[in-house]
Structure 1
């Protein structure tokens, strides 16, 4: 691809994505589901499936349809507690979905009215609120029953079907292991307090990506501690275990290359901003970044902290952190924002007519314009 055609493009390293996915699946005791919301590019879905994920966590009818059209043989788990009656009916009837989650009686009643109770493959996961968390983005304020409510819901599910399962989610970008261990212990208490017990436990996602402004703990080290706790639990030995990583698998497999289109002193205006791929960098995350010129990295000790703006006319189109980059950066140079594999492509839009619609697949971790193959982003 001639970079003169665009002012921003994505680079995807499928080999890196496959390697991280294989490591994760090898270290988890049960079935690994990929959270489609993190990055829904078809080439990403295919890569993680080939690397060993056991299915896909979908949050909508559209995501379930995407999985079916991309990988017809793959299974999907509908793990969004808020879903329409239409989406339940269509995912079951047309897409073969057999796994759903609830966190209240109203949603359970909806499923019982729509789904055939005689289907032996159906499973309903009761999601409970796992309490205090260190996650950057909390999810329990929106979803999850209390442990007592979860036991009640499990009883209601079992009274009308054989579908009972359990789930929790510690929140997005959980940076330490303690919330997982706390939630698993709570799950053990719930399992031991109901009879018959759930047939499966889904420990959710939330495993972290690596960003400059946040302490990083490897998801693999987290899985080691999780495995130790789960293997020592009699209550969990006889049930299926699942998890739903998204960010931890895909975050460092993509970069967003942005051309500098204007410099005003200590401010750089780039070919992409928070609307066109850099939403993760708006508030919470400082991305690793490096600069290039003429297809090569700029090697210099002369650096400066820059404010980064996107190309739109909106003053909110500004990254939340300053970036230390070569002091002599100017129009036409490139900035590579790394670790944008999660919640970048799925959140981008074409506000003001600016859109990043090209993706380059690369085989090496190099700042270069000449390697790789280009295609339209889906």
Structure 2
């Protein structure tokens, strides 16, 4: 069904649009600018269509964080390779991903997790590779990850030595700067730390995974193009002798998929300055709950609304939970009313993590090239939203 037909139907109160061409283009650009192997972080958006597009566009494989994600990749693209890059895994998930799904790369950040791997996996198999995740210091990321995972450089050296002493496994290093990392400096600092670790251990690690965290474009946070960040990273890597013998990986998710998807929500009720919509934080708009201000525009009768009169609205979702509202107010046409639609752009990353009251968004409309001008304008046009107001 086309976009216009979807806006005219009464069957659903919310649906996604997916621009496959945009997703493929961004993925190709990323893989061309990174001097290593690009893995797509499945957790960012696990839709099978997404996996197919990024696979065709050049990713080398998939970063999975659970047995369920590994099974999804295997069932969607059977020939694809997965890397299990969650530092905490159950024995069941380790055993089944290895035995049934062919996973050969795992990450740890403590000796207890290493003992678990040694007890479950064949220690004599040189095709297995164990990454040690270390902390990369302050990251300036919107969503910090350093409080949960990662060890000090000295502890990373000790763990690497333990792996070398107790198995024939290859080793690697990994770090993660956090989600929505807005400057390149944390990557550079962590890469230099990795070099120090590589030079201190023998046999040296054969791989370095610099993680994900590359930013998407939102209205309320500074934005640096991931491609410009990759250019700086590549310059450092190519100028460092110790890294010339190391296989390089990264795990982008948000940076690849965020701006290829919009969420259209029908206005189902207006109460003064509050709009109650067909989707909310439990069904597609979680990125707008606290930290991120999404580009948005209003639609009526199958077209974007053109107006000179704007009003700031609080946006609520359809559930009975009073916390189901966006963290910012949105400037939209003053006469917006029941039956109109709001398009929230750049929602492709982490759109749905929980469901509540039975509300979910299951319909996806693939946007064709003939609809791009109408459906996907250049992002962040200042005429239809503001960034200075938080919802009270």
- TM-score for both structures, normalised by structure 2: 0.92
Choose the corresponding residue for 1:168, options 175, 178, 188.
175
Aligned residue in 2 for 1:4: 10
Preserved contact between residue 129 and residue 143 of structure 1 (Cα < 8 Å): yes
Aligned residue in 2 for 1:357: 362
Cα distance in 2 between the residues matched to 1:348 and 1:361: 24
Preserved contact between residue 348 and residue 355 of structure 1 (Cα < 8 Å): no
Choose the corresponding residue for 2:218, options 205, 211, 216.
211
Question: How far is the alpha carbon of 1:90 from its aligned partner?
Answer: 0.3
Cα distance in 2 between the residues matched to 1:162 and 1:354: 46
* Partner SS for 2:270: strand
Alignment RMSD: 1.2
Question: How far is the alpha carbon of 1:119 from its aligned partner?
Answer: 1.8
Which sections of structure 2, spanning at least 5 residues, go unmatched? 376-392
Aligned residue in 2 for 1:196: 203
Cα distance in 1 between the residues matched to 2:204 and 2:94: 25
Aligned residue in 1 for 2:24: 18
* Partner SS for 1:236: helix
Aligned residue in 2 for 1:69: 75
Cα distance in 1 between the residues matched to 2:81 and 2:252: 16
Cα distance in 2 between the residues matched to 1:129 and 1:145: 5
Preserved contact between residue 84 and residue 107 of structure 2 (Cα < 8 Å): yes
Choose the corresponding residue for 1:158, options 157, 161, 164.
164
Q: How does 1:1-378 map to 2 (within 5 A)?
A: 1=1, 2=6, 3-160=9-166, 161-345=168-352, 347-349=353-355, 351-363=356-368, 364-367=371-374
Preserved contact between residue 292 and residue 367 of structure 1 (Cα < 8 Å): no
* Partner SS for 1:237: helix
Cα distance in 2 between the residues matched to 1:313 and 1:367: 34
Question: How far is the alpha carbon of 1:118 from its aligned partner?
Answer: 2.2
Preserved contact between residue 124 and residue 169 of structure 2 (Cα < 8 Å): no
Deviations 1:108-152 (A, max 9, x none): 011111111222211000000111110111111000011110010
Cα distance in 2 between the residues matched to 1:159 and 1:231: 31
Question: How far is the alpha carbon of 1:162 from its aligned partner?
Answer: 3.3
* Partner SS for 1:109: helix
Cα distance in 2 between the residues matched to 1:236 and 1:195: 15
Question: How far is the alpha carbon of 1:266 from its aligned partner?
Answer: 0.9
Preserved contact between residue 174 and residue 209 of structure 2 (Cα < 8 Å): yes
Cα distance in 1 between the residues matched to 2:202 and 2:138: 27
Cα distance in 2 between the residues matched to 1:176 and 1:300: 37
Preserved contact between residue 33 and residue 244 of structure 1 (Cα < 8 Å): yes
* Partner SS for 1:195: coil
Deviations 1:9-56 (A, max 9, x none): 011111100000000000000000000000000000000000000000
Question: How far is the alpha carbon of 1:348 from its aligned partner?
Answer: 4.4
Deviations 1:78-113 (A, max 9, x none): 000010000000000000000000000000011111
Aligned residues: 367
Deviations 1:335-354 (A, max 9, x none): 00000000004x142x1122
Aligned residue in 2 for 1:372: none
Cα distance in 1 between the residues matched to 2:109 and 2:279: 38
Cα distance in 2 between the residues matched to 1:163 and 1:139: 26
Preserved contact between residue 139 and residue 181 of structure 2 (Cα < 8 Å): yes
Cα distance in 1 between the residues matched to 2:124 and 2:20: 42
* Partner SS for 1:222: helix
Cα distance in 1 between the residues matched to 2:171 and 2:358: 48
Change (3 A) 1:335 1:348: farther
Preserved contact between residue 272 and residue 311 of structure 1 (Cα < 8 Å): yes
- TM-score for both structures, normalised by structure 1: 0.95
* Partner SS for 1:97: coil
User: After TM superposition, where is structure 1 displaced by more than 4 Å over at least 4 residues in a row?
Assistant: none
Q: Which moved more, 1:110-119 or 1:143-152?
A: 110-119
Question: How far is the alpha carbon of 1:312 from its aligned partner?
Answer: 1.1
* Partner SS for 2:335: coil
